[in-house]
């Protein structure tokens, strides 16, 4: 039944009528929730500019905007001393990996252009 969460045609491939397959899928979706995977990490942001707080805020805004995948949820929180925790959530690791690359690249590029440093460190779980 778990495969029904991602592949709606699997029952029809077994020879079950479409109307019956749709009803079964509807019931399964009500009872089972798709599993999520999480990747956590730390963003270390340091700015040498007089308006460093604004530079860091903008870098975070741009990083969040760089996550174009609506299936990947990104949560960034301040942890203290220039460190921000980043939590990526999605159904597949592949989606998260693409989002991490896009976010990290955008933040790094913006910080480098503004006399600042950025580093993403993945937490091992």
Cβ contacts of residue 85 below 8 Å, gap of 6+?
A: 40, 41, 42, 43, 76, 77, 79
* pLDDT over 70 at 116, yes or no: yes
Say what the pLDDT of residue 8 is. 55
Q: Is residue 12 located within the same domain as residue 62?
A: no
Tokens 């006399």 belong to residue: 115
How many domains would you assign to the chain?
2
Domain of residue 93: give its range. 37-122
Computed over every residue of the chain, the mean pLDDT equals 89
Question: pLDDT higher for 5 or 117?
Answer: 117
Q: Is residue 10 located within the same domain as residue 57?
A: no
Q: Is residue 99 located within the same domain as residue 115?
A: yes
Q: For 45-97, what is each residue's pLDDT tens digit?
A: 999 999 999 999 999 999 999 999 999 999 999 999 999 999 999 988 999 99
Q: Is residue 51 located within the same domain as residue 13?
A: no
């Amino acid at each position: 039944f778990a495969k029904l969460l991602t592949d709606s045609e699997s029952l029809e491939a077994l020879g079950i009528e479409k109307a019956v397959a749709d009803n079964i899928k509807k019931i399964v979706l009500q009872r089972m929730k798709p599993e999520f995977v999480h990747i956590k990490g730390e963003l270390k942001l340091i700015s040498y500019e007089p308006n460093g707080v604004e530079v860091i805020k903008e870098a975070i805004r741009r990083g969040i905007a760089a996550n174009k995948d609506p299936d990947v949820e990104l949560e960034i929180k301040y942890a203290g001393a220039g460190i921000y925790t980043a939590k990526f959530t999605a159904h597949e690791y592949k989606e998260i990996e693409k989002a991490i690359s896009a976010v990290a690249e955008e933040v790094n590029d913006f910080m480098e252009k503004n006399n600042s440093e950025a580093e993403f460190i993945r937490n091992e779980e």
